[in-house]
Structure 1
């Protein structure tokens, strides 16, 4: 993915610690939209979209900042698959998204197509559908939530012209099923690489500020040789991310300090975006900014093959055991847990405060 690596070199970027490997997209999405971390929940709560959100009466999400500023029609979601998956149709409505475009029912995401014999819609056709919407609504300030599907499993040798097969594959000590899956996935990522570069180039041609938070939700579960070793567990839970602004934005070419952005988890994305944009923030976003500085990435125990403790990473990507956290880190983490408890299981005292309100 040479284009994505080049983009990462010029804008805020790094690696994201994901709670998923081989699945769990909705969990990474939940963290990104709410700023909450699965590592703060009891291990029995494995999918908030299905176990928690449907029961909540108040679910503050970051898109609601746009709703308050620009009206309830300013949040929209696009997904290149079925709207009922992970209860997204009802959850998005609860989050304040006014419309949810998907491949089933209305509003329908149209003109999607796969590459060669692949099962899922290509990223290129999905990006085109989104661009068509953006172009048709030139004067609105909006929060758009996008979920692509091109590189979703399975990986059954879909592509007619795959340079990563045979001569391009130097993998050793893997079975042939894994080899085919890795080769197919690699070619899918290569297609994504070009489609993403094209997408950003077209966003550059739009004369209004646009910022993109781009991330891989999790790696596919096709690396069985690596997954057999505990020492690779954190590596298998790290994906690429970047935060990019087009040329019409005051934040074009902004690249936050690499030491501060090299590692993150999706619960911090909106706080990082606010830093990238030099934007005014809510007390909640300010807290998450401090939290990210103190503990750059966090995830559930499965991320390190350890069923006892959440995983915390320092700014160099090294694991910090909970017992070795500093007094300041422990205090911030405790505050985070109190905030998360209040928002999800407590009496929601924060609802009657300005904690979620962006300061003017």
Structure 2
């Protein structure tokens, strides 16, 4: 009986061997072709195949496994091969494009960020990309036609038995365990397809003895914190402002000569601030990840990779953050971000984070731009307005947009440049660097404007200012390599290199001019440092973080560094126990309900309560008065949209006359058409 079953399986495979081999040949060509495009060399791809045969095989088996599953439902192996091969080619091309822009491979989380990518497409697209897309589409159609002709036997026979056997074989190959430390295994080593699937299966492996040691460390660090001497008490609680400045970096480190220092104000403020450099988890983009780290004090190393999008994927319920901690202690917590509210799902995330309000572009008027993004000068005015409008101590968390890349667009007129580049560069590099550096200079100037205001304020204020990541100055670190700031190091090496991953920060106070340079540390440590500086009570896990910093100020994926710069590798007990401790801190933070805003029922009402108080005829027009009126809102007269002129936050003019019985309703929609706010229904008497 057993032998007859084996014979049946064998016969099934024999009947289908030719089309299956053809399918394998197609996948072989697709993978080698796409890898050659990615590596920009067929020879390098051949070397990869011979040097990493097992990983190459895993790329093939990834496609075989998908195909075997699809072939359980259809016999058309020709169409399955075209679909799987075609999608692989498309994803590979997207991966190449993303890697050139961000030096990070395509991740499965990226498929949930299509809207975020789409809105930036006008800034990214150029003639070269459009031409490649057009040629690629024509080639795909042509290749599909040839494949149908080549598969003379387009249908399989007795196919389900063979496909089950093939599927089981593929699954067994992929049953290999995956440690989170190798989840970001070099794409040059793993190949694109396996890299993509590898990150979907990454899991943190922490042994029981490490968890036990983490508990001991937790208690030791907590006890050490409680033994610290109390800091000198402030007479009143200070306002706390955090500015996460888009792509802010000390460009002078590049070694390029300018006609003057692009960031003189930042440099001068270091003489009266706590300052240093902070390691951030991303380069050139991924703003929400450093945002997550500074707001929660938790590290991205608890997730499968540093580009994992925590906001849209993980924040689905109330969380402990600076916003909730400070709000619990009498602060008004406001987020300010002059961009779309839905981007990275921030509007929902900030509600879970415990903010009182979140002011985004939809809730802003007289929006001032530099290029296509809000100017930092405009954003600074919003910060000042927030401080002046609130009686309670204010926590402002600000994510700026002014210096967002890419920098190849014409955001400045030729006479708008204060900063001139005196070092010889290629034309393309000079253009990119000029745009970035001028924007950087304006960010520095906006910082000075805010500090000048705070110096004259009688309210004590602490300001944390830092960059979210280094700028993406061309493909494959173009300018960084051209000027010799870095050499030919691989992307994987650079992702752990402080030259590329560390941003400047300063903690400035308007009630103290004490200066201290801090050792380079993870950005997530600054959260507890800031709370300690402000003499604010904090959750236990943040107290542990405050003390842990002294032993391992730099905790990276697979390696750490002590305060003296000594390397702590992932095979050392100290690293393994610290990794377990970081994971325990993450778990503890999830349980700290006392520090969460569980029911944020009044969230954003400061901006969403649109009110119509009166409407009066004025010739052929109608003057409508009220509260919280916005330029971007939509006005409906008797359920029909009507044009209006925006006068102020309390007045608009309709370009039509209303009569008794007419009714007016105002709605505020985001760029996706989602309703953010609606007014009362006002009926003319």
TM range (shorter): 0.7 to 0.9
CA contact (8 A) 1:19 1:28 kept: yes
Deviation (angstroms), 1:127? 0.1
Q: Residues 82-120 of structure 1, C-alpha deviation per residue, up to 9 Å, x if partnerless? A: 11110000000111112111112xxx12333124xx221
1:145 matched to 2:393? The reply is: no
C-alpha deviations, 1:9-31, integer Å up to 9, x for none?
Answer: 32111111111111010000001
The superposition leaves residues 110-137 of structure 1 with CA deviations (integer Å, 9 ceiling, x where unpaired) of: 333124xx22111111101221221222
Residue correspondence of structure 1 range 148-167 to structure 2 within 5 A:
148-155=400-407, 156-159=409-412, 160-165=415-420
* Candidates 274, 299, 312, aligned match of 2:560: 312
Match of 1:269 in 2: 526
Q: 2:348 is paired with a residue of what secondary structure?
A: helix
Partner Cα distance (2:329, 2:487) in 1:
45
- How many Å apart are 1:296 and its aligned residue? 1.1
Instruction: Give TM-score scaled by structure 2 length.
Output: 0.44
For 1:103, the equivalent position in structure 2 comes to 361
CA distance in 2, matches of 1:4, 1:285: 28
Residues 323 and 254 from structure 1, CA distance in 2 versus in 1: closer, same or farther, beyond 3 angstroms?
Answer: farther
**Structure 1: how far apart are the matches of 2:596 and 2:372?**
44
Q: Give the whole-Å Cα distance in 1 for the aligned partners of 2:596 and 2:373.
A: 40
The residue that corresponds to 2:89 in the other structure is: none
Partner residue in 2 for 1:304: none
Counterpart of 1:66? 326
Partner Cα separation in structure 1 for residue 325 and residue 283 of structure 2? 31
SS in 1 for 2:586: helix
Contact 1:25/1:218, CA 8 A, preserved across alignment: yes
Map 1:51-62 to 2 at 5 A: 51-54=313-316, 57-62=317-322
Is the alpha carbon distance of 1:79 and 1:35 closer, same or farther for their aligned partners in structure 2, counting shifts above 3 Å?
A: same
Distance 1:9 1:151, change over 3 A: same
Instruction: Write the mapping of 1:74-153 to structure 2, written as runs, cut at 5 A.
Output: 74-104=332-362, 108-115=363-370, 118-137=371-390, 139-153=391-405
Gaps of 5+ in 2: 1-262, 598-685
Q: Which secondary structure state, in structure 1, belongs to the residue aligned with residue 550 of structure 2?
A: helix
Residue among 543, 546, 563 paired with 1:286: 543
Q: Which of structures 1 and 2 has the bigger CA Rg?
A: 2
- Which string of whole-angstrom CA distances, capped at 9 and with x for unpartnered residues, describes residues 148-180 of structure 1? 101001222422332444xx24155xx533331
Residues 263 and 316 in structure 1, CA contact (< 8 A), matched pair in contact too: no
Which protein is richer in helix relative to its size? 2
Counterpart residue number, 1:236 = 500
How far residue 198 of structure 1 moved from its aligned partner, in angstroms, is: 1.5
Report how many residues are paired.
Answer: 319
Native 8 Å contact 2:519 2:563 kept in 1 = yes
Structure 1 contact 111–129 (Cα < 8 Å) conserved: no
Partners in 1 of 2:532 and 2:509 — Cα distance?
12
For normalisation by structure 1, the TM-score amounts to 0.80
**How far apart, CA to CA, are the structure 2 residues paired with 1:318 and 1:124?**
42
Higher relative contact order (CA 8 A, sep 6+): 1
